[in-house]
Structure 1
Protein backbone atom coordinates (compact mmCIF):
# COMPACT_ATOMS: atom_id res chain seq x y z
CA UNK A 1 0.00 0.00 0.00
CA UNK A 2 2.81 2.40 0.85
CA UNK A 3 4.71 1.61 -2.35
CA UNK A 4 1.54 2.10 -4.40
CA UNK A 5 0.94 5.49 -2.82
CA UNK A 6 4.50 6.74 -3.25
CA UNK A 7 4.79 5.42 -6.79
CA UNK A 8 1.46 7.03 -7.69
CA UNK A 9 2.54 10.40 -6.29
CA UNK A 10 5.84 10.29 -8.16
CA UNK A 11 4.06 9.36 -11.39
CA UNK A 12 1.56 12.18 -10.93
CA UNK A 13 4.26 14.79 -10.32
CA UNK A 14 6.58 13.47 -13.02
CA UNK A 15 9.82 14.58 -11.42
CA UNK A 16 8.98 18.29 -11.22
CA UNK A 17 8.34 18.20 -7.46
CA UNK A 18 11.82 17.89 -5.98
CA UNK A 19 11.12 18.39 -2.25
CA UNK A 20 8.84 16.29 -0.06
CA UNK A 21 7.92 15.91 3.58
CA UNK A 22 8.62 12.22 3.33
CA UNK A 23 7.43 11.55 6.89
CA UNK A 24 5.18 13.82 8.96
CA UNK A 25 4.79 14.01 12.74
CA UNK A 26 6.56 10.77 13.58
CA UNK A 27 7.69 11.69 17.10
CA UNK A 28 5.35 11.30 20.07
CA UNK A 29 5.31 13.77 22.92
CA UNK A 30 6.42 11.35 25.60
CA UNK A 31 7.85 8.01 26.59
CA UNK A 32 11.44 6.87 26.61
CA UNK A 33 12.98 4.89 23.77
CA UNK A 34 15.60 3.49 26.11
CA UNK A 35 18.14 6.15 25.20
CA UNK A 36 16.41 9.08 26.89
CA UNK A 37 14.40 10.30 23.90
CA UNK A 38 10.71 10.28 23.00
CA UNK A 39 9.27 7.18 21.36
CA UNK A 40 7.51 7.32 18.00
CA UNK A 41 3.81 7.85 17.48
CA UNK A 42 1.94 4.59 17.87
CA UNK A 43 -1.54 3.23 18.44
CA UNK A 44 -0.24 2.26 21.87
CA UNK A 45 0.40 5.88 22.91
CA UNK A 46 -2.07 7.85 20.81
CA UNK A 47 -4.98 7.62 23.24
CA UNK A 48 -8.35 8.48 21.68
CA UNK A 49 -6.70 9.26 18.33
CA UNK A 50 -5.68 5.63 17.88
CA UNK A 51 -9.12 4.66 16.64
CA UNK A 52 -8.93 7.14 13.75
CA UNK A 53 -5.28 6.88 12.73
CA UNK A 54 -2.94 4.36 11.17
CA UNK A 55 0.69 4.18 12.25
CA UNK A 56 3.03 2.58 9.73
CA UNK A 57 5.67 2.05 12.39
CA UNK A 58 3.36 -0.33 14.26
CA UNK A 59 3.54 -2.66 11.26
CA UNK A 60 6.93 -1.99 9.68
CA UNK A 61 9.03 -1.24 12.77
CA UNK A 62 10.22 2.01 14.32
CA UNK A 63 13.56 1.96 12.52
CA UNK A 64 12.63 0.28 9.26
CA UNK A 65 9.52 2.16 8.24
CA UNK A 66 11.25 5.47 7.56
CA UNK A 67 14.02 3.67 5.70
CA UNK A 68 11.39 1.97 3.55
CA UNK A 69 9.65 5.26 2.81
CA UNK A 70 12.87 7.06 1.92
CA UNK A 71 14.06 4.24 -0.33
CA UNK A 72 10.72 4.10 -2.13
CA UNK A 73 10.61 7.88 -2.61
CA UNK A 74 14.07 7.93 -4.18
CA UNK A 75 13.38 4.87 -6.35
CA UNK A 76 10.07 6.04 -7.80
CA UNK A 77 11.28 9.63 -8.19
CA UNK A 78 14.16 8.43 -10.38
CA UNK A 79 11.88 6.09 -12.34
CA UNK A 80 9.41 8.86 -13.14
CA UNK A 81 11.53 11.61 -14.61
CA UNK A 82 13.28 12.90 -11.51
CA UNK A 83 16.74 14.14 -12.43
CA UNK A 84 17.31 17.09 -10.09
CA UNK A 85 18.47 16.35 -6.52
CA UNK A 86 15.58 15.02 -4.43
CA UNK A 87 15.26 16.62 -0.99
CA UNK A 88 13.42 14.60 1.66
CA UNK A 89 12.36 16.23 4.95
CA UNK A 90 11.01 14.97 8.26
CA UNK A 91 8.35 17.44 9.44
CA UNK A 92 7.10 17.82 13.02
CA UNK A 93 5.51 20.20 15.52
CA UNK A 94 6.31 21.46 19.04
CA UNK A 95 10.03 21.44 18.34
CA UNK A 96 10.19 24.86 20.04
CA UNK A 97 8.44 23.52 23.16
CA UNK A 98 9.19 25.20 26.50
CA UNK A 99 7.62 22.63 28.83
CA UNK A 100 10.18 19.91 28.05
CA UNK A 101 13.19 22.03 27.10
CA UNK A 102 12.97 21.20 23.37
CA UNK A 103 12.96 17.45 24.06
CA UNK A 104 10.94 16.78 20.92
CA UNK A 105 13.50 18.56 18.74
CA UNK A 106 16.29 16.61 20.40
CA UNK A 107 14.34 13.38 19.92
CA UNK A 108 13.74 14.06 16.24
CA UNK A 109 17.44 14.61 15.59
CA UNK A 110 18.18 11.42 17.56
CA UNK A 111 15.75 9.38 15.47
CA UNK A 112 17.10 10.76 12.21
CA UNK A 113 20.58 9.66 13.27
CA UNK A 114 19.16 6.22 14.08
CA UNK A 115 17.33 5.93 10.74
CA UNK A 116 20.48 6.92 8.87
CA UNK A 117 22.72 4.54 10.81
CA UNK A 118 22.20 1.83 8.16
CA UNK A 119 24.59 3.80 5.94
CA UNK A 120 22.05 3.86 3.12
CA UNK A 121 19.14 6.02 4.24
CA UNK A 122 19.61 9.75 3.64
CA UNK A 123 17.26 12.36 5.10
CA UNK A 124 18.05 15.79 3.75
CA UNK A 125 16.25 18.12 6.09
CA UNK A 126 14.02 18.91 9.04
CA UNK A 127 10.80 20.89 8.88
CA UNK A 128 9.66 22.66 12.05
CA UNK A 129 6.01 23.62 11.96
CA UNK A 130 5.99 26.46 14.53
CA UNK A 131 2.30 27.00 15.21
CA UNK A 132 3.23 29.53 17.87
CA UNK A 133 1.41 31.93 20.18
CA UNK A 134 2.43 35.32 21.49
CA UNK A 135 1.99 35.37 25.27
CA UNK A 136 1.15 38.67 26.97
CA UNK A 137 2.77 37.34 30.15
CA UNK A 138 6.27 38.78 29.68
CA UNK A 139 8.06 36.01 31.57
CA UNK A 140 6.32 33.29 29.59
CA UNK A 141 6.98 35.12 26.32
CA UNK A 142 10.67 35.44 27.13
CA UNK A 143 10.84 31.71 27.87
CA UNK A 144 9.17 30.97 24.53
CA UNK A 145 11.68 33.12 22.69
CA UNK A 146 14.57 31.41 24.47
CA UNK A 147 13.30 28.02 23.33
CA UNK A 148 12.84 29.17 19.75
CA UNK A 149 16.54 30.02 19.84
CA UNK A 150 17.41 26.66 21.41
CA UNK A 151 15.38 24.84 18.75
CA UNK A 152 17.21 26.58 15.91
CA UNK A 153 20.52 25.77 17.60
CA UNK A 154 19.58 22.08 17.87
CA UNK A 155 18.47 21.93 14.24
CA UNK A 156 21.53 23.80 13.03
CA UNK A 157 23.80 21.40 14.88
CA UNK A 158 22.13 18.46 13.10
CA UNK A 159 23.78 19.55 9.86
CA UNK A 160 20.49 19.06 8.01
CA UNK A 161 18.63 21.53 5.84
CA UNK A 162 16.17 23.43 8.00
CA UNK A 163 12.86 24.89 6.94
CA UNK A 164 10.13 26.56 8.96
CA UNK A 165 7.29 24.70 7.34
CA UNK A 166 4.01 25.94 8.84
CA UNK A 167 4.57 29.22 10.68
CA UNK A 168 1.52 30.95 12.09
CA UNK A 169 0.69 32.76 15.33
CA UNK A 170 -2.10 33.34 17.80
CA UNK A 171 -2.30 35.58 20.86
CA UNK A 172 -3.09 34.86 24.51
CA UNK A 173 -3.59 37.45 27.23
CA UNK A 174 -1.87 37.46 30.62
CA UNK A 175 -4.43 34.99 32.00
CA UNK A 176 -3.68 32.57 29.16
CA UNK A 177 -6.98 33.18 27.37
CA UNK A 178 -6.96 33.12 23.57
CA UNK A 179 -7.78 36.52 22.09
CA UNK A 180 -9.87 36.46 18.90
CA UNK A 181 -9.25 38.77 15.97
CA UNK A 182 -12.37 40.81 16.65
CA UNK A 183 -11.07 41.66 20.13
CA UNK A 184 -7.45 42.41 19.24
CA UNK A 185 -6.04 45.87 19.95
CA UNK A 186 -3.47 47.58 17.77
CA UNK A 187 -0.84 47.17 20.49
CA UNK A 188 -1.50 43.44 20.55
CA UNK A 189 -1.11 43.25 16.78
CA UNK A 190 2.20 45.13 17.09
CA UNK A 191 3.39 42.68 19.75
CA UNK A 192 2.69 39.79 17.39
CA UNK A 193 4.61 41.60 14.65
CA UNK A 194 7.65 41.84 16.92
CA UNK A 195 7.51 38.11 17.63
CA UNK A 196 7.37 37.34 13.91
CA UNK A 197 10.38 39.59 13.37
CA UNK A 198 12.22 37.83 16.19
CA UNK A 199 11.55 34.34 14.79
CA UNK A 200 12.51 35.20 11.22
CA UNK A 201 15.66 37.05 12.26
CA UNK A 202 16.78 34.21 14.53
CA UNK A 203 16.29 31.71 11.72
CA UNK A 204 18.73 33.61 9.53
CA UNK A 205 21.12 34.35 12.39
CA UNK A 206 21.36 30.80 13.74
CA UNK A 207 20.83 28.48 10.77
CA UNK A 208 23.95 28.47 8.56
CA UNK A 209 23.35 29.74 5.05
CA UNK A 210 24.04 26.32 3.51
CA UNK A 211 21.30 24.81 5.71
CA UNK A 212 18.63 27.47 5.12
CA UNK A 213 15.78 26.02 3.07
CA UNK A 214 13.16 28.69 3.70
CA UNK A 215 10.09 29.74 5.65
CA UNK A 216 6.48 28.96 4.79
CA UNK A 217 3.69 31.03 6.35
CA UNK A 218 0.82 28.68 7.17
CA UNK A 219 -2.07 31.18 7.07
CA UNK A 220 -2.22 33.95 4.50
CA UNK A 221 -5.22 35.56 6.18
CA UNK A 222 -6.87 35.56 9.59
CA UNK A 223 -9.06 32.52 10.26
CA UNK A 224 -12.75 33.20 9.58
CA UNK A 225 -15.50 33.42 12.14
CA UNK A 226 -15.56 32.12 15.67
CA UNK A 227 -14.08 28.84 16.92
CA UNK A 228 -15.85 26.08 15.02
CA UNK A 229 -16.19 28.11 11.82
CA UNK A 230 -12.69 27.29 10.64
CA UNK A 231 -10.73 24.05 10.54
CA UNK A 232 -7.71 25.88 11.96
CA UNK A 233 -7.62 28.29 14.92
CA UNK A 234 -11.06 29.64 14.13
CA UNK A 235 -11.49 33.38 14.62
CA UNK A 236 -7.83 33.92 15.52
CA UNK A 237 -5.44 36.54 14.07
CA UNK A 238 -3.21 33.98 12.37
CA UNK A 239 -2.61 35.76 9.05
CA UNK A 240 -0.23 38.32 7.68
CA UNK A 241 -3.30 39.81 5.99
CA UNK A 242 -6.76 40.29 7.49
CA UNK A 243 -9.84 38.61 6.02
CA UNK A 244 -10.14 41.41 3.45
CA UNK A 245 -6.51 40.98 2.36
CA UNK A 246 -5.30 44.16 4.00
CA UNK A 247 -1.72 43.96 5.25
CA UNK A 248 -1.44 43.72 9.03
CA UNK A 249 1.29 44.72 11.45
CA UNK A 250 2.38 41.08 11.31
CA UNK A 251 3.13 41.50 7.60
CA UNK A 252 5.53 44.31 8.47
CA UNK A 253 7.10 42.29 11.27
CA UNK A 254 7.68 39.33 8.95
CA UNK A 255 9.13 41.64 6.27
CA UNK A 256 11.41 43.35 8.78
CA UNK A 257 12.66 39.95 9.91
CA UNK A 258 13.48 39.02 6.32
CA UNK A 259 15.27 42.35 5.90
CA UNK A 260 17.24 41.81 9.10
CA UNK A 261 15.92 44.99 10.70
Structure 2
Protein backbone atom coordinates (compact mmCIF):
# COMPACT_ATOMS: atom_id res chain seq x y z
CA UNK A 1 0.00 0.00 0.00
CA UNK A 2 2.84 2.36 -0.78
CA UNK A 3 4.40 2.02 2.67
CA UNK A 4 7.63 0.32 1.54
CA UNK A 5 9.21 2.80 -0.85
CA UNK A 6 12.64 1.29 -1.61
CA UNK A 7 14.16 -2.15 -2.04
CA UNK A 8 16.69 -4.18 -4.00
CA UNK A 9 14.55 -5.18 -6.95
CA UNK A 10 17.35 -7.42 -8.28
CA UNK A 11 20.18 -8.88 -6.19
CA UNK A 12 23.52 -10.33 -7.35
CA UNK A 13 22.79 -10.26 -11.07
CA UNK A 14 26.40 -10.16 -12.24
CA UNK A 15 28.61 -13.21 -12.75
CA UNK A 16 32.33 -13.29 -13.49
CA UNK A 17 34.13 -13.20 -16.81
CA UNK A 18 37.38 -12.52 -18.65
CA UNK A 19 39.35 -9.61 -17.24
CA UNK A 20 38.81 -6.37 -19.11
CA UNK A 21 35.52 -7.50 -20.62
CA UNK A 22 31.95 -6.95 -19.47
CA UNK A 23 31.00 -9.72 -17.07
CA UNK A 24 28.03 -11.85 -17.98
CA UNK A 25 24.83 -12.14 -15.97
CA UNK A 26 24.39 -15.01 -13.55
CA UNK A 27 23.22 -18.18 -15.29
CA UNK A 28 23.73 -21.92 -15.00
CA UNK A 29 26.67 -22.08 -17.40
CA UNK A 30 28.70 -19.64 -15.30
CA UNK A 31 27.66 -20.89 -11.86
CA UNK A 32 30.06 -22.87 -9.69
CA UNK A 33 29.43 -26.22 -8.05
CA UNK A 34 26.34 -28.38 -8.48
CA UNK A 35 23.83 -26.44 -10.59
CA UNK A 36 21.02 -29.01 -10.40
CA UNK A 37 19.24 -27.22 -7.57
CA UNK A 38 19.90 -23.61 -8.60
CA UNK A 39 17.65 -21.20 -10.44
CA UNK A 40 18.78 -18.27 -12.58
CA UNK A 41 16.24 -15.86 -14.06
CA UNK A 42 18.41 -15.23 -17.12
CA UNK A 43 18.07 -18.88 -18.17
CA UNK A 44 14.32 -18.32 -18.58
CA UNK A 45 13.90 -14.63 -19.36
CA UNK A 46 17.17 -13.74 -21.10
CA UNK A 47 19.22 -10.58 -20.71
CA UNK A 48 16.09 -8.50 -20.22
CA UNK A 49 15.11 -10.21 -16.98
CA UNK A 50 15.86 -7.10 -14.88
CA UNK A 51 13.43 -5.00 -16.91
CA UNK A 52 10.51 -7.22 -15.97
CA UNK A 53 10.61 -6.91 -12.15
CA UNK A 54 11.37 -3.19 -12.47
CA UNK A 55 8.31 -2.75 -14.68
CA UNK A 56 5.95 -4.66 -12.42
CA UNK A 57 7.33 -3.20 -9.18
CA UNK A 58 6.48 0.26 -10.48
CA UNK A 59 3.12 -0.83 -11.87
CA UNK A 60 1.83 -2.50 -8.71
CA UNK A 61 3.33 0.07 -6.37
CA UNK A 62 1.26 2.74 -8.11
CA UNK A 63 -1.86 0.56 -8.39
CA UNK A 64 -1.76 -0.11 -4.65
CA UNK A 65 -1.63 3.47 -3.48
CA UNK A 66 2.05 4.34 -3.73
CA UNK A 67 3.35 7.63 -5.09
CA UNK A 68 5.48 6.68 -8.12
CA UNK A 69 7.83 9.60 -7.44
CA UNK A 70 8.76 8.07 -4.08
CA UNK A 71 9.63 4.57 -5.28
CA UNK A 72 13.37 3.79 -5.39
CA UNK A 73 14.55 0.54 -6.98
CA UNK A 74 18.13 -0.65 -6.49
CA UNK A 75 20.43 -3.22 -8.07
CA UNK A 76 22.56 -4.80 -5.32
CA UNK A 77 25.76 -6.84 -5.70
CA UNK A 78 28.99 -7.88 -4.01
CA UNK A 79 32.72 -7.50 -4.85
CA UNK A 80 32.11 -4.10 -6.41
CA UNK A 81 35.09 -2.73 -4.46
CA UNK A 82 37.47 -5.59 -5.37
CA UNK A 83 41.03 -4.71 -6.31
CA UNK A 84 41.80 -8.09 -7.87
CA UNK A 85 39.72 -7.20 -10.94
CA UNK A 86 40.15 -3.40 -10.74
CA UNK A 87 36.42 -2.93 -10.00
CA UNK A 88 35.51 -4.77 -13.22
CA UNK A 89 32.36 -6.25 -11.69
CA UNK A 90 31.05 -2.76 -10.91
CA UNK A 91 32.07 -1.47 -14.35
CA UNK A 92 30.16 -4.40 -15.86
CA UNK A 93 27.10 -3.72 -13.72
CA UNK A 94 27.08 -0.08 -14.81
CA UNK A 95 27.24 -1.18 -18.46
CA UNK A 96 24.34 -3.58 -17.92
CA UNK A 97 22.29 -0.84 -16.28
CA UNK A 98 22.93 1.40 -19.26
CA UNK A 99 21.73 -1.38 -21.56
CA UNK A 100 18.59 -2.05 -19.53
CA UNK A 101 17.74 1.64 -19.43
CA UNK A 102 18.36 2.12 -23.16
CA UNK A 103 14.75 1.12 -23.87
CA UNK A 104 13.62 4.52 -22.56
CA UNK A 105 11.22 2.90 -20.08
CA UNK A 106 13.32 1.01 -17.54
CA UNK A 107 14.67 3.11 -14.70
CA UNK A 108 16.96 1.88 -11.95
CA UNK A 109 17.26 4.44 -9.19
CA UNK A 110 20.33 3.27 -7.34
CA UNK A 111 23.19 0.83 -6.86
CA UNK A 112 23.82 -1.05 -3.65
CA UNK A 113 27.29 -2.34 -2.75
CA UNK A 114 27.39 -5.17 -0.23
CA UNK A 115 31.00 -4.52 0.88
CA UNK A 116 31.88 -7.69 2.78
CA UNK A 117 35.44 -6.41 3.05
CA UNK A 118 38.68 -7.40 4.76
CA UNK A 119 41.22 -5.31 6.62
CA UNK A 120 44.76 -6.41 5.69
CA UNK A 121 47.72 -5.93 8.01
CA UNK A 122 50.01 -5.99 4.96
CA UNK A 123 50.39 -2.26 4.18
CA UNK A 124 50.66 -2.68 0.40
CA UNK A 125 47.61 -4.94 0.20
CA UNK A 126 45.62 -2.61 2.42
CA UNK A 127 46.60 0.42 0.34
CA UNK A 128 45.30 -1.32 -2.80
CA UNK A 129 42.16 -2.25 -0.87
CA UNK A 130 41.52 1.36 0.06
CA UNK A 131 42.33 2.64 -3.42
CA UNK A 132 39.64 0.43 -4.93
CA UNK A 133 37.05 1.41 -2.33
CA UNK A 134 37.65 4.97 -3.53
CA UNK A 135 37.39 3.90 -7.17
CA UNK A 136 34.13 2.09 -6.44
CA UNK A 137 32.56 5.15 -4.86
CA UNK A 138 33.79 7.38 -7.69
CA UNK A 139 32.33 5.04 -10.32
CA UNK A 140 29.02 4.78 -8.48
CA UNK A 141 28.78 8.53 -7.95
CA UNK A 142 29.54 9.18 -11.62
CA UNK A 143 26.39 7.30 -12.65
CA UNK A 144 24.25 10.00 -11.04
CA UNK A 145 22.28 7.26 -9.26
CA UNK A 146 21.61 6.79 -5.58
CA UNK A 147 24.48 5.06 -3.77
CA UNK A 148 23.91 2.74 -0.84
CA UNK A 149 26.29 0.53 1.14
CA UNK A 150 23.99 -2.36 1.96
CA UNK A 151 25.81 -5.11 3.86
CA UNK A 152 29.02 -3.67 5.32
CA UNK A 153 31.09 -5.98 7.49
CA UNK A 154 34.81 -6.59 7.86
CA UNK A 155 37.08 -9.56 8.31
CA UNK A 156 40.77 -9.40 9.15
CA UNK A 157 43.88 -10.83 7.47
CA UNK A 158 47.39 -10.88 8.91
CA UNK A 159 50.59 -9.76 7.17
CA UNK A 160 50.67 -13.02 5.19
CA UNK A 161 47.04 -12.83 4.07
CA UNK A 162 45.74 -15.44 6.51
CA UNK A 163 42.31 -14.97 8.06
CA UNK A 164 42.48 -13.99 11.74
CA UNK A 165 39.87 -15.45 14.10
CA UNK A 166 38.24 -13.35 16.79
CA UNK A 167 40.14 -14.82 19.74
CA UNK A 168 43.47 -14.00 18.08
CA UNK A 169 42.87 -10.34 17.24
CA UNK A 170 45.39 -8.00 18.88
CA UNK A 171 44.66 -4.48 20.08
CA UNK A 172 46.71 -3.11 17.19
CA UNK A 173 44.58 -5.10 14.74
CA UNK A 174 41.37 -3.91 16.37
CA UNK A 175 42.61 -0.35 15.89
CA UNK A 176 43.40 -1.04 12.23
CA UNK A 177 39.88 -2.34 11.64
CA UNK A 178 38.39 0.72 13.33
CA UNK A 179 40.53 2.95 11.12
CA UNK A 180 39.37 1.14 7.98
CA UNK A 181 35.70 1.43 8.96
CA UNK A 182 36.20 5.15 9.43
CA UNK A 183 38.00 5.36 6.07
CA UNK A 184 35.10 3.72 4.21
CA UNK A 185 32.50 5.98 5.80
CA UNK A 186 34.62 9.12 5.40
CA UNK A 187 35.09 8.39 1.70
CA UNK A 188 31.38 7.71 1.23
CA UNK A 189 30.51 11.18 2.50
CA UNK A 190 33.46 12.79 0.72
CA UNK A 191 32.92 11.26 -2.73
CA UNK A 192 29.17 10.68 -3.04
CA UNK A 193 27.17 13.91 -3.48
CA UNK A 194 24.60 14.51 -0.77
CA UNK A 195 21.73 14.17 -3.24
CA UNK A 196 22.93 10.63 -4.10
CA UNK A 197 23.58 9.37 -0.57
CA UNK A 198 21.06 6.69 0.36
CA UNK A 199 22.63 5.31 3.49
CA UNK A 200 24.98 2.76 5.02
CA UNK A 201 23.79 -0.52 6.54
CA UNK A 202 26.05 -2.58 8.82
CA UNK A 203 25.60 -6.30 8.13
CA UNK A 204 26.62 -7.79 11.49
CA UNK A 205 25.91 -6.34 14.91
CA UNK A 206 28.22 -8.82 16.65
CA UNK A 207 31.20 -10.98 15.81
CA UNK A 208 30.32 -14.23 14.08
CA UNK A 209 29.88 -17.31 16.31
CA UNK A 210 32.17 -20.22 15.53
CA UNK A 211 29.28 -22.33 14.22
CA UNK A 212 27.86 -19.62 11.96
CA UNK A 213 27.33 -20.13 8.26
CA UNK A 214 28.77 -16.66 7.60
CA UNK A 215 32.44 -15.96 8.33
CA UNK A 216 32.45 -18.34 11.32
CA UNK A 217 34.53 -17.22 14.27
CA UNK A 218 35.59 -13.96 12.60
CA UNK A 219 35.60 -10.47 14.19
CA UNK A 220 33.05 -8.94 11.83
CA UNK A 221 30.84 -7.07 14.32
CA UNK A 222 30.83 -3.66 15.89
CA UNK A 223 30.08 -5.43 19.18
CA UNK A 224 31.60 -8.66 20.46
CA UNK A 225 29.45 -11.70 21.29
CA UNK A 226 28.82 -10.28 24.78
CA UNK A 227 27.49 -7.07 23.20
CA UNK A 228 30.44 -4.98 24.37
CA UNK A 229 31.46 -2.22 22.01
CA UNK A 230 34.67 -2.86 20.05
CA UNK A 231 37.13 -0.33 18.64
CA UNK A 232 35.34 -0.96 15.32
CA UNK A 233 32.24 0.63 16.85
CA UNK A 234 34.26 3.76 17.59
CA UNK A 235 35.68 3.92 14.07
CA UNK A 236 32.23 3.48 12.56
CA UNK A 237 30.69 6.12 14.84
CA UNK A 238 33.54 8.58 14.27
CA UNK A 239 33.04 8.19 10.51
CA UNK A 240 29.35 8.97 10.82
CA UNK A 241 30.13 11.93 13.07
CA UNK A 242 32.77 13.28 10.70
CA UNK A 243 35.46 13.28 13.38
CA UNK A 244 39.12 13.61 12.46
CA UNK A 245 41.36 10.57 12.78
CA UNK A 246 43.67 10.56 15.81
User: What is the match of residue 242 of structure 2?
Assistant: 260
* Deviation sequence 1:13-70 (CA, Å, 0-9, x none): x3211111000000112148xx9311111101103152232111111111x2111110
User: What is the match of residue 248 of structure 1?
Assistant: 230
TM-score (norm. length: structure 1) = 0.90
* Gap runs ≥5 in structure 2: none
* Gap runs ≥5 in structure 1: 1-13
What does residue range 72-83 of structure 1 map to in structure 2 within 5 Å?
72-83=56-67
Q: Are 1:95 and 2:80 matched, yes or no?
A: yes
User: What is the match of residue 183 of structure 1?
Assistant: 168
Q: Distance in 1 between matches of 2:145 and 2:223?
A: 32
What does residue range 1-261 of structure 1 map to in structure 2 within 5 Å?
14-31=1-18, 36-62=21-47, 64-83=48-67, 85-225=70-210, 229-261=211-243
Q: Distance in 2 between matches of 1:47 and 1:166?
A: 23
TM-score (norm. length: structure 2) = 0.95
Q: CA RMSD in A?
A: 1.3
How many aligned residue pairs are there? 242
Contact residue 172 and residue 178 of structure 1 kept, 8 A:
yes
Contact residue 31 and residue 39 of structure 1 kept, 8 A:
no
- Deviation at 1:78? 1.5
Kindly report structure 1 stretches of 4+ aligned residues shifted beyond 6 Å. Answer: none
